[in-house]
Amino acid sequence: MSFPLVKSLAALTAAATLAIQPAWASDKVKIGFVSTLSGPSAALGVDIRDAFMLAVKLNGGKLGGLPADVSISDDQFKPDVGKQLFERYVKRDKVDFLTGVVFSNIMLAGLPEAVDNKTIYLSPNAAPSPIAGAQCTPYFFAVSWPNDAYHEAAGQYATNLKVKSAYLLAPNYQAGKDSLAGFKRFFKGNVSGEVYTKLGQLDYSAELAEIRAAKPEVVYTFLPGGMGINFIKQFMAAGLNKDIRLIQPGFGSDQDVIRAVGNDMLGIFDTAHWGLDLPNEANKKFVAEFEKEYKRLPTIYAAQGYDTALLIDAAVRAANGKIEDKEAMIKTLKTVKFNSVRGDFRFNTNQYPIQNYYLREIQKDAQGRLVNRIVGQPVLTNHGDAYVKDCPMK
Amino acid sequence: MLEQALNGLQFGLMLFLLASGLTLVFGIMDMINLAHGALYMVGAFLAAWLVQLTQSFLSGVLLAVGLTAVVGMLLEATLLRTLYARDHLSQVLATFALILIINDSVRMIWGSDLALSAPQALSGPVQLLPGLLYPSYRLVIIAVGLAIALLLFVLVTRTRMGAWVRAGASNREMAMAMGINIKVLFTGVFGLGAALCAVAGAMLGPLLAVQVGMGENILILAFVVIVIGGIGSVWGAFVGAILVGFVDTMGRTLLPHLFREIFSPQFASAAGPAVASILVYVLMAVVLFVRPQGLFSGRS
Amino acid sequence: MNRETPPWLWTLLLALAIALPLVLHARGQDYYISMISRMMIYGIAACSLNLILGFGGLVSFGHAAFVGIGAYAVGIMITEGVTSGWLNFAVAMGVSALAAAVIGAISLRTRGVYFIMITLAFAQMIYYLVNSIKAYGGDEGLNIKSRSNFGMGLDLKNDLTFYFVVLLVLVLTLVIISRMMKSRFGRVILAIRDDDTRVDAIGFPAYTYKWVLFIIAGTLGGLAGALMVNHQNYVSPNLMHWTQSGTLMIMVILGGVGTLSGGLWGALVLLILEDLIAEYTVYWQFYIGWFLLAVVLLAPRGLSSLFNRPKKLETKANA
């Protein structure tokens, strides 16, 4: 029994010494990037990452004048993996900023690590309602939108259309609950069904049978990534699109879903805070550069990832590279102006955005590709969120 | 309701494809093969890749099935053969290690997921009864599943090879003593199991997602099926699979519906599928209690 | 237990285990202290599995359930405001003992592959049950705001303090197992592993002995779970998934089935290897897989057998 003990000990000590890397003080911006880079919903994390790195590249590999050291990891769609990665970036690598996570459940699992260790997390996507309200923290910035927002806009749109009955479906996790709560907040018609599916569920035959029986006028689903792709395919395969209208939040009908489902998507309406054709300079550059670099059109996720990098860039520049002072950095992030691809926006007291939400329709562009086109006036203008009053931050 | 029943049948038939291979391997070679789910995944990936390459769903799937069978047989002839004589624990460790290797190998070759779509012709519904539209692709799955089940039965009960298989499952030493070439038989059975896995993987690919790790979830259900059905019995695997398929599907649909009448929608959505899944295991526990060797015993 | 580790080696190991974190702390590398704590916790869980797997000869595929039960017991208590460490740990061990009693009572009536399947079934049932309890996170998992409080001025949030608490529990666990296997109870268990009909015949009810062993193993597993949730400030149903039970089994088999500390070494080797390889490549599972395969083919009794007189390969004939 003696040899293996000694051998294991040797391995342990070797590992300890080999893997220990002292953390140097920063003349650079260290960023920990954790996202879902594998599995059916990988396209979302990949878009955020690609856009973020594009912004860094267009900036000469720098953010705010300092060289950017971005470390990228895959949370594999698992909250415990995400949490461990957060811990490693925050405790071992002592990063200056954390970002990247797509899904609310993973972000919520990891956020305490960041907050406990005074590291700022900038969310390029997940922005759940508890953190907008009573559990708000200065170490969390939602660079994207409050979780409810797209759904509130969709609910408003359905109300504008005078829809009488809507059947709602979302996955059973924080963002899912936020989504349907948001829709119901602005929808004045009758909710004929409210169903929560399992996060990551791919087979919707059961739910589709129920929808067929309920005969609603509209079906509204929040199913990001692979979930949405499967649902829409199965929805069409079951012939339900003949009589029932599908309304989506922008997540459910963006480029990733369009690529996977195809021409059946034509004519679907959705709501979002951004569109490919928003007419500001930053956006035109972003879309052109993204397509040139990656040979595909960007999604809202990409737009958010890009904006996150731009925000960091502006804030670090405004702080003259002094990023160690966290309190000062937080104040700077809250107020710094930068040219976002979505146009004008500002942060609310709870560090969630106040911005416009647009109606989009899937149409064919000049090259015959299916894209989301902004139509009409914004559905919601300068819209914040319903939870800011519960947040004690000023 | 009928739609759900059909869904249950569809799922059950695919489970049968997986379970039949598993039960034969376990029954005849007395080997716990945790990597069976990995072969299902390999079949799905190969199908996704080959369909893309050949631009034909049929050719892609057939080629994938053939290739997976070859992979299976190679695996058996090189590695798994050495495990037959070993204890169950070693088999668990070795096949668990195999899962890790195969998962990452697939990731290295194709990335962590691959898109597989049903053929365009089958992407619409079919009218079964007035008012009942059912996805045509799922109907095809049911047809394929039933056809293969029939073929398997004919093979196992009416051919000489089938007789060898049944003899081997029933009593290996006796079968060897009677002069049956065990080595070739084992490799063949394993290859057949792998092929069946590939059919299930390729057919389910368009409905679920072709991704690394897809085998782990369905593997456990396959084991439950063969325990219920009886280790070594193909007929048992069939009955067990249909049973489990129904209980699982009906549970996942009826229970949340029921719960929603009484509880909040969020509770119902969480509790429903949980109870449905638990039901399957309760079913297995009950069968084990009442008839420990399974419903139809393949062993003597 | 056929090979005794000399006490001087244990003392040396203990000294090293005490010195290492102090050195790391001096260098400001608290992260690694936390990492080693996690490995030791897995070691405790694996040792508890070795009790039934190695000494009892019972291949249980649902051991992770007890770890999870212990973890959730503490997690739920802390969420509800009960942070007394003594209460937390006592309840965790109590609940897992109860679960083990129930599961064991039913499962031990079967044998062989059916025992494997039924323990797996119970673990999956508990997994699905916990998954559905949204009040405590469901499949999103449960974040806990603070760690258990044992009083005595111990702050478990401090990585160093927590390490020593884990080390203490580990040492206690090993002592308990060692004492138990040397006692008459232990010898009966070993006899049962070899042939339980004979043991029944001479008047020791094999079923009862196995049942007690199962309960003890489950309790220790729950203890590991209580430590685990404290360490991660988080628990999710994934802790109880069958692949976790499989991982625990791997650790036991790696370190040496039926040895006192095999579980610990297996856990250390596996987790260190995983972390090391993951530094260099994304495909660490691939290399771990080959490593495990090599162990099965070349060192069937675990790593410990590589360095001792070659034992007879355990085959079906003499298993």
Q: Tokens 């948001």, residue?
A: A182
Which residues does chain B have within 8 Å of residue A42's beta carbon, measured at their own beta carbons? Answer: 112-113
Chain B residue nearest residue C108, CA to CA: B289
Beta-carbon-side half-sphere exposure of residue A276 (alpha carbons within 13 Å): 21
Size of interface A-C (CB pairs under 8 A): 100
Closest residue by Cα to residue B220 from C176, A44, C62: C62
Domains: count for chain A: 2
Chain A residue nearest residue B204, CA to CA: A203
Task: Report ipTM (2 d.p.).
Answer: 0.85
**Band of the pLDDT at C4, cuts 50, 70, 90?**
low
Query: Does residue A1 lie within any of the structural domains?
Result: no
pLDDT, tens digit, 9 for 90 and up, residues B174-188: 777 877 777 888 898
- Decide if C33 contacts C24 (C-beta within 8 A): yes
Q: C275 touching A, CB under 8 A? A: yes
Q: C276 touching A, CB under 8 A? A: yes
State the nearest Cα–Cα gap between B190 and chain A, in angstroms.
Answer: 29
pLDDT by residue for chain A (394 residues), tens digit each?
444 555 555 555 555 544 444 444 458 999 999 999 887 788 899 999 999 999 999 999 999 989 999 999 999 888 888 998 999 999 889 999 999 999 998 999 899 989 989 999 999 999 999 999 999 999 999 999 999 999 999 999 999 999 999 999 999 888 999 999 999 999 999 999 898 888 888 888 888 888 988 899 999 999 988 889 889 988 988 888 888 999 999 988 898 888 888 888 888 899 999 999 999 999 999 999 999 999 999 999 999 999 999 999 999 999 888 888 899 999 999 999 999 999 988 999 999 999 999 999 999 988 889 999 999 899 999 999 999 999 998 8
Chain A residue nearest residue B6, CA to CA: A205
As a whole number, the mean pLDDT across chain A is: 89
pLDDT, tens digit, 9 for 90 and up, residues B268-298: 777 777 788 888 888 888 888 788 778 887 5
Beta-carbon-side half-sphere exposure of residue A270 (alpha carbons within 13 Å): 27
Domain ranges of chain C: 32-240
Query: Does residue A299 lie within any of the structural domains?
Result: yes
- Decide if C161 contacts C171 (C-beta within 8 A): no
Contact check, Cβ <8 Å, A105/C140: yes
Q: A25 touching C, CB under 8 A? A: no
Chains in contact with C, where contact requires at least 3 CB pairs less than 8 Å apart: A, B
pLDDT for res A23: 41
CATH code, domain with A123: 3.40.50.2300
Query: Does residue A248 lie within any of the structural domains?
Result: yes
State the nearest Cα–Cα gap between A195 and chain B, in angstroms.
Answer: 6
Record the tokens describing residue A327, joined without a space.
């309190």
State the nearest Cα–Cα gap between A38 and chain C, in angstroms.
Answer: 12
Residues 167-196 of chain A with CB under 8 A from chain B are: 172, 177, 194-196
Query: Does residue A195 lie within any of the structural domains?
Result: yes
Residues 6+ apart with CB under 8 A from B56: none
As a whole number, the mean pLDDT across chain C is: 86
Contact check, Cβ <8 Å, C303/A4: yes
Are residues A63 and A122 located together in one domain of the fold? yes
Are residues A191 and A328 located together in one domain of the fold? no
Q: Who among A8, A11, A19 is closest to C279 (CB)?
A: A19
- Decide if B189 contacts B166 (C-beta within 8 A): no
Chains in contact with A, where contact requires at least 3 CB pairs less than 8 Å apart: B, C
Q: Which of B286-300, C186-200, C270-284 shows the lowest mean pLDDT across its residues?
A: B286-300
Range of A38's domain?
26-145+278-343
Q: What is the dihedral of CA C64, C70, C74, C75, to 10 degrees?
A: 20
Are residues A103 and A39 located together in one domain of the fold? yes
Query: Does residue A92 lie within any of the structural domains?
Result: yes
Which residues does chain B have within 8 Å of residue C132's beta carbon, measured at their own beta carbons? Answer: 270-271, 273-275
Are residues A223 and A333 located together in one domain of the fold? no
Query: Does residue A70 lie within any of the structural domains?
Result: yes
Chain C residue nearest residue B215, CA to CA: C243
A120-123 and A97-99 as β-strands: parallel, antiparallel, unpaired?
A: parallel
Are residues A232 and A328 located together in one domain of the fold? no
Are residues A306 and A327 located together in one domain of the fold? yes
Record the tokens describing residue B244, joined without a space.
């489990």
Q: Tokens 């012939």, residue?
A: A239
Which residues of chain B are modeled with pLDDT < 70?
169, 172, 298-300
Domain ranges of chain B: 2-212
Query: Does residue A8 lie within any of the structural domains?
Result: no
- Decide if A364 contacts A370 (C-beta within 8 A): yes
Angle between helices A149-160 and A174-186 (to 10 degrees): 30
Are residues A194 and A239 located together in one domain of the fold? yes
Contact check, Cβ <8 Å, A239/B124: yes
State the nearest Cα–Cα gap between A238 and chain B, in angstroms.
Answer: 5
Are residues A141 and A154 located together in one domain of the fold? no
Q: C253 touching B, CB under 8 A? A: yes
Q: A38 touching C, CB under 8 A? A: no
Query: Does residue A392 lie within any of the structural domains?
Result: no
- Decide if C304 contacts C256 (C-beta within 8 A): yes
Contact check, Cβ <8 Å, B209/A202: yes
Are residues A162 and A74 located together in one domain of the fold? no
Chain A residue nearest residue C39, CA to CA: A12
Are residues A371 and A263 located together in one domain of the fold? yes
